[in-house]
Every structure is written in C-alpha cells, then in structure tokens.
Chain A
Amino acid sequence: MSAGAEAPGPAPHVELRRVSKRYGAVTVIADLSLAVEKGSFTALLGPSGCGKSTLLRMIAGLEEITTGQCFIGGLDVTETPPAKRRVAMVFQSYALYPHMTVRENIAFSLSIAGASRKVQNARALEVAHILQLEALLDRRPAELSGGQRQRVAIGRALVREPEVFLFDEPLSNLDAKLRVQMRVELAKLHAALKTTMIYVTHDQIEAMTLADRIVVLDRGNIAQVGSPLELYNHPANKFVAAFIGSPGMNFFEVKLDRIEAGAAQVVAPGGGVARARLRAGAADGQLELGVRPEHLAILPFERADAPLKGKIAIVERLGNATLVHVDTPAGLLVVEAKGDVAAAPGAEVGLALDEAQTHLFGADGAAL
C-alpha cells in the first residue's frame, strides 16, 4: 500500500485516486491518493474528525466522491452502487436488525439476492460455524452480549464472500477485555480468509496490533503510511509521533548547537546538552525534540551528564512498568521505568535520553 506516488509494485486491490470530499464549502478529504494491496489488513487511523470514516464510506459507496476515482479489483467503481462493489461493511453500532434472528440477520443479503431458503440456511450455518455462533442462530440481537453481536455483524459481512471487508470502528462499543478478545479473533479471521480488510479506528493500539499497514490521517490528509513499527520508530512528522504510542511521546523545544557525525547536539531548556539522531542531515534554529517515555531513563540528581533535571511529580505504578512524571524546565516529562523502580514524588532526579531513539522535528513539524 502506498500514499501518492510510489515505486510500481503489484496492482493495488483498492485504490483511491486523487479523491476529494466536500460538504458545501467544507472540505473533509482533499486530493487524497491511496492504494491498498490485495489481502492486506490496512488501518485508517486518526483522531475524531480527520476523515477516516468518510474515506471508508467513500470506498463502500455510501458517500459520494466529489472529485477523483475509486477502483476495486482494477475496476472503476466511483459511480457503482454499494451493493455491486463486492464489499461488506461492519458498522460501529453493528446495525443488526432487531426483528430478525441471528440466522436471518446473517442470511439477509442472500435473501435479498433471492437465494433459496435452503441455500440461506446452509450458508448461515457455515458462517455461524466459523464464528462459533451455531448455538445462537435462533436468538434475536437483543438476547446477545456485545461480543456475540459483534460476531453476528462480522458473520453478516462474511456471508457475502466480499472482495474487501470494511470495518468502521467495530470494537469501540465493547469493554476493554472483550475488545482485546475480539482483536485476536479478527486477526485470526484475517489470517484464515486472507481477504483485503480496511479498518477504521481512532485507537492506535487496535491499529498497531491488527494492521500490517497503517494510514495515519490528519485533517483529511495522509500524514504517513507504513507498518506499525515504521510509524512507531520513524514517524514522518510530529503529528504521527504524538498520535502513535501510549503513553505519548514527550516533546520539548531545543536549540541546535552543532551537527556532527549524523547527530545533532542540542541545548535543552535548563541548559543541559543532549545529542539527538538527525536523519535529514540538515537542521537549523529552534527545533523540537521528541523522545518516548521508554527512551528516557532516571539518573541520580547529582549526575553531571544528565541533560535534564527535575522533580518527580507523580508516580503511576502499572505493575509491569512505572510511569514517572518528572517536572523539568522542559515541561512535565513522562518516563517509563521498570515496575519496581524506586521513585517517590518530590524526589529530585536527572534524566538521560537514548540518543538513537530521539526524534528531531523542524518548525513545520516534519521529522529531521
């Protein structure tokens, strides 16, 4: 999958070519191009209002494309009605018809297509078997738990044997435990079916764990496309760096001192000197340094080589790790330390940065 111009690879399964979506004077998607490879699991990730659901609905045909083209399987489907695009969609609300049983819900598309009752039953049973819904076939949605409803919604998509599965935040109505469980089930389903899946979410953990490619969207534009680790380790800009990772990356302004051997020496607020990785090879003036909590380390206050010093404000014990919030001249920085680290609020500490894992951003937010 790629954004915009990229080296020629295999023909994309789903392709958006310079698409825009406007509602009157408001532009939600502006001149966006995206290609999704066959069999991939692609997540459209971004904050609320970034246009990710609109993009998915444009692929589904539920939203008209103002300008540009949409291709599925090499065919231009820009003007094709949703039912003929060979896509199936799982909605956030599940959209299960309350007056129908699980069997009828799953077989609805077949019944609309005029399939015989026998075929409908056989296919519904087949899908129910895959999703372990056999025992629930004669129940109505109101008699199901959230997870079961979610599985029925997936079953309804599955029965159509689509070329592309579209998921619109399908797990956001589930509780945290069930969400983890459903995530695993979705991953298994994708591994078994190997069908192209496009998944909209605002939850970066969902995107990171499920997708093999993530498209990060920012105000209707693609901020970056890449594998989960690519986005995590090499964010193209501050927006992606801030959006990916939990707890989020720490940012603070630094002044460039000098550049040597592919690294920048910067002066942090408070006067401490730090070295930061520099990929672009050029930088000047006021920069912003980003460092993830796990790439900060707590040092004794007396250590002269600590580029930042501060006082512990809050300690959050998570068991496997401890989040230490340190009040420094650069602002409140979060450090992810070992679960049993000795840290107490009020204690004065020094902070060390892992140079290889730092990120420098220019005034426009682009990674340097």
Chain B
Amino acid sequence: MSAGVEQLSARIDAPVARRLARLRRFDRTGLIITIGTLALAIVWAFPLYWAVITTFKHEYETVKPGLRLWPEQFTFENYAQVLVHTKIGIWYVNSIITSTAVTVLVIIMAAGAGYAISQLEFPGRRVFWWMILASFMVPIPALIVTHYIVLSQLKLINTLAGVVGPQLIAPVTVIIYKQFFDSVPKDFREAAVIDGANDWQLLFRIYLPMNWGITTALAIITFIGAWNLFLWPFLAVSSEDKMNITVGITQVHDAFGVHYARDLAVAMLAALPVALVYLMFQRRVTQAIMLSAGIKG
C-alpha cells in the first residue's frame, strides 16, 4: 500500500515540481529584469539627485575633488541669495502670466477651431483643415526669424504679449479637439439643437464639458510647455523685468559668474512649479502626452 501511495504522490508531485521549476526560472528572469530596470532608474535619476543635493552644499564643497553624495554641511544660502539678490519674483510672475495666457488662449482657440472643423459646414472647411494639418509639419524654430520680424513690426518685442503670441500656434491641440468632437454622437447635438442651443452653447455647454478630461490634459501639457519654453522668450525679451523664469536664470549666471550651487538652486526654483503640476496631475499629463504622441506619429 505504501508503494501505491508513493507512486500516487510521485504522479501528483511531478507536474507540481515542473511548475515550481518554471516559477523559479521565471522568478530569476524577473529578478534580473528588476535589477536592470532599477539600475537604469538610478542612472536616470542620479543627475536630478546630484543637482538637488548640490543646491544644499557650500560653493567650496562643489569644487572639492571626489564624489560626495551628501553635503558635509547643509545650507540654504544658495536659495537665500537667489531669492534676495535676483528678480526671481518678477520672473515667476511673468512666467505665470505668460503660461496662463498661453494655456487659456490655446484651449479656447483650439476648441473653437476643432469644433468648427468637426461640426460646422462652411466654405473652405477642407482647405482650413489641410492647412492645420500641414502647419505642424513645419518645425517652430524654422519660423522663429519670421516671428521675430512680425512681432518687431507689431512693436511687441520686449513685451509679455510678444512672448505669448507665437506660442498660440498649436495645431496638434486643434487636431486632438477635432478628433474628440468627431466622436461625440450626433444625437447629442441634435437634441440640443431641438432644445434651441446655438453653436456657442453647443461648444461650451455640451462639447467641451463632455470632453472635460481631454481639456484638462491639454491645458496641463500646454501650461508645462509654455513654462519650460526657452528659445522664443529668450529672443523676444531683453529687459530683465519682462523675462520668464527660464530666461531669468541665465541672468544669474551672467551676473555672478560660475557658482554651481547657486545656479542649480535657481534652476530648481524654476522647475519646481512644473514638477508640482506634474505630480498633482500625473495621470492627465501622461494622457495628454500619449494623445499628442499618437497624432505626431
């Protein structure tokens, strides 16, 4: 009888053992992948860590030979110096004004254009649509000289309006809106039309609220893009009082020479709002990036 039991247990154990062996193999592979991913994450995050930690070091420590992963002595003097001796407050305000203006205007104009192309019948609609599609095939830096000439003729150089203007060209946002408005079932429009809604009411009371998620995502990504933009604000503005934070930080370097800890402190301050926005709206930002990536192909 015991032989029978052994045979039976062997029959049962064999597949279990095979499964365990498979699991062990799988675990080993998983472990290697995890370690590899972790290593890559460290390589990616290290510069950020290094930058943050450097801002809390004394300047002399930053140029000392050797790798120091932690400050010998913690200090906030770099932040204090930047906050007290530069116009970072004005640059912040300028960045907030221009980024908010760009976000609001881009969303309103793109939603309007997307709605018109998607829902209205008017002569030249197809041409208009092709123009928008064609416009994002031209890289913005290629237009920068033209933008400068136009804005200079409009006497908008060295103004916040001048910083905002060229950033309002956002064909991808129009395309995303058009696609979303196309997907709204026709019945919603017709029900509202029978109820007496005009096109403005249709856009602002039906189409936009029904696509609120996408509007939030696009607004966040537009805001981050406008906040981080450097080249155009750098060219359009020379007066320190009209600078954005991204342009302003170059002034710190120019005014005081190379001071790694302080330069990095101002860079941290510049990046802080965007990092906060990202952390708060992570899901929406990812959604918007995926949407625009899908369109850019």
Instruction: Please pick, from B190, B191, B192, B209, the residue contacting A99 in the complex, using a CB distance under 8 A.
Output: B209
B210 touching A62, Cβ below 8 Å: no
Indicate if the CB atoms of A88 and B197 lie closer than 8 Å. Answer: no
What B residues does A112 contact at CB under 8 A? 192, 195-197, 201, 205
Please pick, from A61, A81, A93, A99, the residue contacting B187 in the complex, using a CB distance under 8 A: A93
Contacting residue for A89 out of B194, B209, B212, CB 8 A:
B194
Complex: A301 Cα to B262 Cα, angstroms? 108
Q: Is the CB of B196 within 8 A of A93?
A: no
Could you tell me the distance between the alpha carbons of A109 and B198 in the complex, rounded to whole angstroms? Answer: 12
Once the chains bind, are B197 and A82 in contact (CB under 8 Å)? no
* B190 partner, pick from A62, A81, A97, A98, beta carbons under 8 A: A62
User: Does A108 lie within 8 Å of B188, measured CB to CB?
Assistant: no
Contact with A along B131-163 (1 / 0, CB 8 A): 000000000000000000000000000000000
For A81, list chain B residues within 8 Å (CB).
193
Interface check B206, CB cutoff 8 A = yes
Mark out the residues of chain A between 61 and 100 whose CB falls within 8 Å of any chain B CB in the assembled complex: 61-62, 81-83, 87-89, 91-93, 95, 97-99
A167 CA to B191 CA in the complex, in Å? 12
B193 near A91 (CB under 8 angstroms)?
no
**DSSP majority for the A interface?**
loop
Q: Does B65 contact A (CB under 8 A)?
A: no
Asked if A60 and B194 make an inter-chain contact with CB atoms under 8 angstroms apart, the answer reads: yes
Do A83 and B193 have beta carbons less than 8 Å apart?
yes
Partner of A83, one of B187, B194, B205: B194
- CB neighbours (8 Å) of B191 from chain A are 89, 91, 95, 156
In chain B, what residue has the closest Cβ to A160? B195
Contact of B185 with A by CB under 8 A: yes
A62 lies within 8 A of B206 (CB): no
A176 at the interface (CB under 8 A from B): no
A98 to B191, CA, bound (A): 13
Query: Which residues, 185 to 243 on B, are CB-close (under 8 Å) to A?
Result: 185, 187-188, 190-197, 201, 205-206, 209-210, 212
Which of A309-360 touch B at CB < 8 Å?
none
Please state if B188 and A95 are interface contacts (CB–CB under 8 Å).
Answer: yes
In the complex, A192 has a CB within 8 A of chain B: no
Out of B190, B196, B197, name the residue touching A95 (CB < 8 Å). Answer: B190
Q: Which residue of A lies closest to B201 (CB)?
A: A112
**Is A62 touching B193 in the complex (CB atoms < 8 A)?**
yes
Tell me, in angstroms, the Cα distance from A88 to B194 when the chains sit together.
7
Q: Is residue A113 within 8 Å, beta carbon to beta carbon, of the partner chain?
A: yes
Q: Collect the chain B residues with CB atoms within 8 Å of residue A83's CB.
A: 193-197
| Of the residues B185, B190, B196, contact of A109 by C-beta under 8 Å | B196
Q: Is the CB of B210 within 8 A of A98?
A: yes
Query: Interface residues of B toward A: which range?
Result: 10 to 19
Interface size on A, residues (CB 8 A): 22
State A81–B187 Cα separation when bound (angstroms).
16
- Over the window 16-51 of chain B, the binary record of Cβ atoms lying under 8 Å from chain A Cβ atoms (1 yes, 0 no) is 000000000000000000000000000000000000
In the assembled complex, the Cα of A45 lies from the Cα of B192 at a distance in Å of 26
B180 to chain A, nearest CB (A): 14
Closest chain B CB from A330 CB (angstroms): 46
Cα-based distance from A261 to B236 in the complex (angstroms)? 102
Knowing A93-B187, A95-B185, A97-B188, say if A82 contacts B210 (CB, 8 Å).
no
User: Given the interface contacts A83-B195, A109-B196, A112-B196, does A91 sit within 8 Å of B209 by beta carbon?
Assistant: no
Given known A-B contacts A97-B210, A99-B209, A109 and B188 have beta carbons under 8 A apart: no
Q: Which of B87-127 contact A (CB under 8 A)?
A: none
B201 and A82 contact, CB distance less than 8 A: no
Q: Within the complex, what minimum Cβ distance (angstroms) separates B92 from chain A? A: 35
Cα separation A60 to B194 with both chains bound (whole Å): 8
| CB < 8 Å neighbour of B210 from A91, A99, A156 | A99
- Please report the C-alpha to C-alpha distance between residue A61 and residue B195 in the assembled complex, in whole angstroms: 12
Find chain A residues with CB under 8 A from B212 CB: 99
Q: A98-B210, A99-B209 are in contact. Are A108 and B192 (CB under 8 A)?
A: yes
Known: A60-B194, A108-B192, A113-B196. A95 touches B210 (CB 8 A): no
Residue of A nearest to B197 (CB): A112
| Contact pick for A62, options B185, B194, B197, CB 8 Å | B194
- Residues of chain B lying within 8 A (CB to CB) of residue A93: 185, 187
Nearest CB on A from B197, distance (A): 5
Give CA–CA (A92, B188) in the complex, Å.
Answer: 11
- The residues of B that contact A62 with a CB separation of less than 8 Å are 190, 193-194
Write the nearest CB–CB distance from A108 to chain B, whole angstroms: 6
Q: Are B193 and A82 in touch, CB under 8 angstroms?
A: yes
- In angstroms, Cα B197 to Cα A142, docked, is 23
Chain B residues with CB under 8 A of A60: 190, 194
| Interface residue ranges of A127-171 to B (CB < 8 Å) | 156, 160
Inside 8 A of A97's CB, which chain B residues have their CB?
A: 188, 206, 209-210
- Closest chain-B Cβ to A281's Cβ sits at a distance in Å of 49
Q: Which residues of the other chain, A, contact B209 by a CB distance below 8 angstroms?
A: 97, 99
Q: In whole Å, how far is B242's beta carbon from the nearest beta carbon of chain A?
A: 40
User: What is the CB-to-nearest-CB distance from A23 to chain B, in angstroms, rounded to a whole number?
Assistant: 15
* Bound CA–CA A148/B57 (angstroms): 65
* CA of A59 to CA of B197, assembled, Å: 18
Residues of B within 8 A of A87 (CB): 194
Give the chain B neighbours of A99 by CB distance below 8 A.
209-210, 212
Measured CA separation A61–B187 after assembly (Å) = 14
Specify the chain A residue showing the minimal Cβ separation from B191: A95
21 intermolecular pairs with C-beta atoms under 8 Å apart: A60-B194, A82-B190, A82-B193, A83-B195, A83-B197, A87-B194, A89-B190, A89-B194, A91-B187, A92-B187, A95-B185, A95-B191, A97-B206, A97-B209, A97-B210, A99-B209, A112-B195, A112-B197, A112-B201, A113-B196, A160-B195
Which 4 pairs of residues, A with B, have the shortest CB-CB distance?
A83-B196, A109-B195, A95-B187, A95-B191
Beyond A81-B193, A82-B194, A87-B194, 4 additional pairs, beta carbon < 8 A: A60-B194, A93-B185, A95-B185, A99-B212
* Interface of B toward A, CB cutoff 8 Å: 185, 187-188, 190-197, 201, 205-206, 209-210, 212
